[in-house]
Amino acid sequence: MSKKIITGVKPTGTSMHLGNLMGAVLPFQKNAKGNDAAIFIADLHALTSVKDGAKLREQSLEVAIEYLSIFGVDTPITIFRQSDIADITKLMWILTNVTPYALMLRAHSFKDIEQKVEKVEKEIAYNEGKLSLYSNTEIFKDDEKAKGSEEKIAQLRQELDELEKEWENKMNMGVFNYPILMAADIIGYDIDAVPVGKDQLQHLEMTRDIARGFNKFYGKNVFTEPEAIIEESVATLSGVDGRKMSKSYDNFIGIFDDEKKLKKRVMSIITDSAGVDEVKDPDSCNIFALIRVFGTDEEVETIYQKYLTPNIGFGYGHAKKALLEILTRYLAPYRATREKLLQDIPFVEAKLAEWAKIMNARLEAKMKVVREVVGVN
């Protein structure tokens, strides 16, 4: 049976990289087959951190263009901008009133920084000799005292200062209420299933709690509790330094980078120092890891054998060149579509408007019931 599925993507800056493509975008496209699938550009969520209107608008459009470039302009997946949906924040407000404060206090997004502050505060106390090193309690035995140097204490105090500033500047109520808007984004459209990484399971669980809470408060089965789709088999793609490919490590290969940048990134892949005529281990090589994912079966097999054959003059430079060719070919159609779409922004906007109409109608149908049940217009 066809299921309604949805995912959101925050338009917060850098464009998509190969890790996003293999770990999230293509698996979603696969899940979308035979289902009624939608992706929203979470611009309202991005307001928690982006405080530049022109930039947010531009980044939201860029995300739309990138998805259209990958899925194709005739995609059956509904791509829409969250802020184009008129009643989504009204639904959020209604849900806010059935969401226990205690539930929100348990959200990861909120707790992480709070725990960091607590940890540094404790470290300061240890170093000042005010807390037992071993038991987290106030000191009563001298031998448990660990006095840190003045320097260490000053450094910790500075760290605490910065964390407190971060807390003040970044922890706004948008961050705190984030899971409630996320719940509206899901249950407002009667979504059956949401693909999530393990790290987001808690937020989906909150969505389920909020749906259940609403139904219980009003004694009516208005909202469906969504299921999680956890894609266990998706492997983590490594970046140019061998760590997980990630924006935050700046070790990623961008899908829409121009040739020069792509070349620079590929050439910067870290390898061991084996020479051209030495045997190399493909299974531990950062270049081969990418060839394996993006090459054809034949290319993978041929290059694999070259790694294992000595004295054929095949070095890491040759492997990088092969990878560059493979990636250039693999990414060419995506890049070509993006270039074309950039020349026709009104077409992209028209597509977004068409999709927003579908999702507005869907939310409106649900809101008719919700308004009736809660007693507001």
Residue 22 touching ligand AMP (CB under 6 A) = yes
| Comparison of 18 and 61: residue with beta carbon closer to ligand AMP | 18
Interacting residues with ligand AMP between 209 and 248 (CB under 6 A): 236-237, 244-247
Residue 348 touching ligand AMP (CB under 6 A) = no
Q: Shortest gap between Cβ of 198 and ligand AMP (angstroms)?
A: 10
Residue 188 touching ligand AMP (CB under 6 A) = no
Question: Given the rule CB under 6 A, which of 21-29, 115-123, 255-263, 341-349 is the region that contacts ligand AMP?
Answer: 21-29
Q: Shortest gap between Cβ of 9 and ligand AMP (angstroms)?
A: 7
**Are 79 and 67 spatial neighbours (Cβ–Cβ below 8 Å)?**
yes
Task: Please name which of 35, 74, 18 lies closest in space to residue 234, comparing C-alpha atoms.
Answer: 18
Q: Shortest gap between Cβ of 350 and ligand AMP (angstroms)?
A: 27
Q: Indicate which single residue of 197, 310, 317, 333 sits in contact with ligand AMP (rule: CB under 6 A).
A: 197
DSSP string, 187-243: HTTT--EEE--GGGHHHHHHHHHHHHHHHHHHTS--SPPPEEE--TTPPPPB-TTSS
| Comparison of 61 and 245: residue with beta carbon closer to ligand AMP | 245
| Comparison of 68 and 290: residue with beta carbon closer to ligand AMP | 290
Residue 11 touching ligand AMP (CB under 6 A) = no
**Total residues at interface with ligand AMP (CB under 6 A):** 12
Residue 24 touching ligand AMP (CB under 6 A) = yes
In whole angstroms, give the CA distance from residue 330 to residue 18: 11
- What DSSP character marks residue 311? S
Helix (H) or strand (E) holding 332: helix 316-342
Question: Given the rule CB under 6 A, which of 22-30, 120-128, 220-228, 264-272 is the region that contacts ligand AMP?
Answer: 22-30
| Comparison of 23 and 188: residue with beta carbon closer to ligand AMP | 23
Using CA atoms of 211, 83, 50, 97 in order, give the dihedral in degrees to the nearest 10.
-30
Task: Please name which of 194, 182, 196 lies closest in space to residue 24, comparing C-alpha atoms.
Answer: 196
Residue 292 touching ligand AMP (CB under 6 A) = no
In whole angstroms, give the CA distance from residue 299 to residue 291: 8
Question: Given the rule CB under 6 A, which of 16-24, 101-109, 111-119, 273-281 is the region that contacts ligand AMP?
Answer: 16-24
* Amino acid identity, position 3: K
In whole angstroms, give the CA distance from residue 201 to residue 320: 38
Q: How many CB atoms lie within 10 A of CB 292?
A: 15
Which residues would be at the binding site for ligand AMP (CB under 6 A)?
19-20, 22-24, 197, 236-237, 244-247
